[in-house]
Amino acid sequence: MSVYQTSKRLLYRPVRRYNEVNGQQGWIFVDALIGMVILAVALAAMMIMYRQATIANTTSRDYDAAVYIAQQHLENIKRFDAQPLQDGKLVSVNFTNPSAETVNGTVFTTTIAPVATTEDLDNHLHPYQATVTWMDRTANPPTQRQIRIVAYYYSDLSEEL
């Protein structure tokens, strides 16, 4: 047999499919099914991760808003004229307790109160506590969250008492 005849025989030989040669008929469908299952599991994991990230962002946004609101209310004590109470603590004249604000659909309730302290403070220092509460809708079941911030203010009005 010449080289030409051998190459011609190889070129014109009927092509047999890979799955017929190895007896794997029908396995392509199973491979595709396994691939779809793996893809579905990966997509489900990504959806759960996205949901958890959204909950974390919402919780962080609410905590940031609560801190901002507490700081604003504590700053109002300094901004408005203040008058001393009988116990020597200062209270803002224009401040109403408690107050409610809505930020991003969440209602924040704020209370400001003088803090009774056992520390030996200067007569000019007055501690105040801002307490901000809100309902955390991302928790299951929804729970009430709360932050407290204490600030110390200096005032010369104590000498008038």
Instruction: State pLDDT tens for residues 142-154.
Output: 899 999 999 888 7
- Which tokens sit at 60? 């962080």
pLDDT tens track for 58-99: 999 999 999 999 999 888 877 664 555 545 555 543 455 678
**Buried (b) or exposed (e) across 123-132, using 16+ Cβ within 10 A?**
eeebbbbbbb
Higher pLDDT, 123 or 62: 62
Give the dihedral of Cα atoms 73, 77, 78, 80; nearest 10 deg: 110
Mean pLDDT of the chain: 78
pLDDT value at position 115? 81
Give the model's pLDDT for residue 153: 81
pTM beyond 0.85: no
Average pLDDT over residues 35-64: 95
